[in-house]
Structure 1
Amino acid sequence: MITLPLPGLHARDVRRIGDHAAAAEARRFLHPVQQALLHRRGWLKMLAPRSCGGAELPLPDVVRLEEAVASIDGSMGWVLTLCAGAGWFAGFLPPPIAADIMHTRRVCVAGSGAPTGYAEQEGDGYRISGSWDYASGAPMGTHFTLNAVLRKDGQPMLDASGQPSIRAFIVPVRHVSITPSWSTIGMRATATHRYAIDGAWVPKEHGFTIAPEAATADGPLYRFPFMSLAYVTLAANIAGMAAHFLRLASDLVGRRQDNASAMLSDKMHQLAQKREHFYQALDRCWKLVEQGRTLASQDMDAIRATSLALVAISRCAVDELYPYCGLYAAREDTDINRVWRDFHTAIQHKLFTA
């Protein structure tokens, strides 16, 4: 049996997350009890700077917590990861703006990284228009992040290489309209909807650059490369969901008289090994950044490789064991079926299919 440490999770938290997972899927967004827990524990601000009201937790602790939550409810783990990850951008905003955002009641930053909108330069700011897909946790969002192509006088502004210049922005929810658009076999409770902005003007200080040299907060969190952070946080979610599936599968596979039990044991062992390698790479790279060093290309390659290896064994374990779980696992009203659907929806993320 795979058991995961549950950092920061009390037994009561585990029950609150798990007991409401099925109801959250039915209502197609996190249950109010789950939402309240995210706010009460401050998890949505755990990557934001302490200087603006965040917790600024060490990244390895954050990743382990996200994995633990995903191992109880994949949708809640995903919303936590994506919205806390968007909160990390506070470390790249002017401190007064970051503080104003992070002190918002029940703050939750949602958003999308696709540059599917425009930001027209106007006075001392930009007028933003466009629509963006896949904002996990959208119904909770108090602020939304986005990427937009910069324009002046209706024409795209170009960067140093002659390509359209793209900038990240953060806007309050009052400028945003959300369109329910999330219709998938799994991860239903993430409410990963589309949102649009129609000509909202924001000061230029609401634009930001995601790069260590552009950080406005001093901690090591904001010197950790963005893509490396994305790999470890999302891979941990996949591993958590896979571990949840294997726990549920063990009760079904254990009743069989064929070699399925041996396969289950083997997949658990392989997953545990890849998970250990994954955290070894993360912990080592985090220590380097804590010491003030810049991660070399081989360090970032190790983060990517161990993340993808963890995802690959997770996929292999779930896919190879599912046929041995019987028709019970094909019933949509069972926990194992929900976890299977959540897993196969999350694994479609472009980070793991590129």
Structure 2
Amino acid sequence: MDTLHNSQYFFSEEDQKQLIDLQPSLDQLGYFPREALEVITQNQHFHLFVPQERGGLGCSLTTGMRIIEAYSRIEGNLGWIVQIGAGGGVFAAYLEEAVARSFLGRPDQVIAGSDYAGGKAVSVPGGYKVSGAWKYASGSLHATAFTANCRIVKDPNDIRVKAVIVPAEQVTVIKDWNAMGMRATDSHSFRINDVFVPEKHAFTVAPDQLLIENRLLQLPFMLYARALFVPVLIGTTFRYLNLYRDYVVRRNFSLDSRSAVAADHLEKTWQASRNDLYQYAEKIWHSAEIKEVDKETEKQFSRQCIQITDRLLISIDQCHRHTGMEGIRMNSQINATYRNIKTAAAHFLLSPGSL
């Protein structure tokens, strides 16, 4: 089985032990625990992709992907929270330095939010009055700020959309996350009601709006998002495979049994999928140093991410049908891991309909 590359950004053995100790309880807790947050913030992993010019780690795409995978190998909820929190770090590059540092200047500061245009921003002197409601803001209970897309209201024909960033104390979290998996990700809805947002706290996610230039920020945003989602699946599948192999051993299935054959197939599928993902991501990362990533490359990477998702889901289902009662018990680790995979794979950007 594969081991992750060493990295100066990975967590220590002590941190890893602390996360492993939390592993069995995350699904049953139904919320993200403070002990896990402490490990993430101490290692600045919410700031993987905050540019160094704004005080972050400024990681390369593939280094960040491997760190997200490392968390996901321990437990899917961990990986999902890290990739969501880290993913929002790039917004610092669209904000003036003083604004960016006010929202992301400390390791414990993290953004939750939504890219759905669920609100309206009425132009007023100096900024906007913002109201609206947004769903699925992972990390909402520990976020220190929220980003939300709004339609700018000046006249009935104005259809522009801007993102706004607001402090968490100006947001109302609606605790409605009730999915079958990723139950500790606090992916609740939130509401903003007639809040004044200064003009400097509004931004548009577009290349010509960047205040900082580097390779990561040159990547198309949807490519970047998919590149962070898939390592969660890769890492959580690694955990599922280990749990399933343990199950096969405990049941004393023969090496040529259908259950053992399914495990071998899943391992090969996982290894091939992981290799494909990182090879293509490395190719994109190196090419971005020379030129802008073109639409065809973005499409190819999107297709690959969806194909990887499909292959993993099929192979995991072939294994899970052999897990008997242990596989359907809500309090078993293999069941929780299976539900986490299914929930992560349900994200629109990993579905064929997103192409």
- Normalising by structure 2, what TM-score? 0.93
Is the aligned partner of 1:304 residue 2:302? yes
- The amino acid across from 2:272 in the alignment is Q
2: distance between equivalents of 1:156 and 1:168? 19
Please say which of residues 100-109 and 70-79 is displaced more in the overlay: 100-109
User: What is the CA–CA distance in structure 1 between the aligned matches of 2:218 and 2:282, rounded to whole Å?
Assistant: 15
User: Which has the higher mean CA deviation after the structures are superposed, 67-76 or 97-106?
Assistant: 97-106
For residue 253 of structure 1, give the secondary structure of its aligned residue in structure 2: helix
Q: C-alpha displacement at 1:302, in angstroms? A: 2.5
> Is the Cα–Cα contact under 8 Å of residues 241 and 263 in structure 2 kept in the other structure?
yes
* Aligned match of 1:39: 41
Q: Is the 8 A contact 1:21 1:31 kept in 2?
A: no
Give the alignment partner of residue 180 of structure 1, picking from 152, 175, 183: 175
Partner of 2:119: 117
- 3-state SS in 2 of match to 1:190: coil
Task: Answer yes or no: is the 8 Å Cα contact 2:240–2:337 preserved in 1.
Answer: yes
Paired residue type of 2:287: L
AA of the residue aligned to 1:141:
A
Shift of 1:26: 2.7
Unmatched tracts of structure 1, length 5 or more: 159-163
Q: Out of 97-106 and 337-346, give the one that drifted further.
A: 97-106
8 Å CA contact 1:150, 1:156 repeated in 2 = no
1-side partners of 2:316 and 2:277: how far apart? 19
- Does structure 1 residue 204 correspond to structure 2 residue 199? yes
Tell me which stretches of 4 or more aligned residues in structure 1 moved more than 6 Å.
Answer: none
- Cα contact 1:5–1:68 (8 A) shared by 2: no
Q: In structure 1, what is the equivalent of residue 93 of structure 2?
A: 91
Instruction: Give the Å deviation of 1:53.
Output: 1.1
CA distance in structure 2 between the partners assigned to 1:147 and 1:306 by the alignment: 28
Q: Is the 8 A contact 1:308 1:352 kept in 2?
A: yes
Shift of 1:253: 2.5
Question: For residue 64 of structure 2, what is the aligned residue in structure 1?
Answer: 62
1:285 aligns with 2:284: yes
Query: Which among 313, 316, 322 is matched to residue 315 of structure 1?
Result: 313
Secondary structure of 1:20's counterpart equals helix
2:150 counterpart SS class: strand
Residues in 1 aligned to 2:156 and 2:152: alpha-carbon distance in whole angstroms: 6
What letter is aligned with 1:349? Answer: H
Q: What SS does structure 2 have at the residue aligned with 1:327?
A: helix
Percent same amino acid among aligned pairs? 25
Verify the 8 A CA contact 2:51 2:58 in the aligned structure 1.
yes
Give me the whole-angstrom Cα distance separating, in 2, the residues matched to 1:212 and 1:17.
37
Give the unaligned 5+ runs of structure 2: none
1:140-159 CA deviation, whole Å, 9 max, x = no partner? 1111001011102xx4452x
Shift of 1:130: 0.5
CA 1:41–1:300: 2 relative to 1, 3 Å: same
Distance 2:183 2:113 in 1: 17
* Offset of residue 224 of structure 1: 1.2
Give the Cα–Cα distance (whole angstroms) in 1 for the partners of residues 258 and 273 of structure 2: 23
Structure 2 CA distance, aligned partners of 1:40 and 1:10?
11
SS at match of 1:14: helix
Question: Is it true that 1:241 corresponds to 2:243 in the alignment?
Answer: no
Cα contact 2:40–2:82 (8 A) shared by 1: yes
Residue number in structure 2 paired with 1:226: 221
Q: Which deviates the most, 198-207 or 95-104?
A: 95-104
The offset of 1:266, in angstroms, is 1.9
- Measure, in 1, the Cα distance between the counterparts of 2:107 and 2:318: 45
Contact 1:70 1:241 in 2 (8 A): yes
Contact 2:32 2:185 in 1 (8 A): yes
TM-score (norm 1): 0.93
Q: Aligned partners of 2:142 and 2:218: how far apart in 1?
A: 28
> Aligned to 1:308, what secondary structure does the other structure show?
helix
The whole-number CA distance in structure 1 between the counterparts of 2:318 and 2:75 is 21
Match of 1:261 in 2: 260
The 2-side partners of 1:15 and 1:337 are apart by 22
SS of 1:100's partner is helix
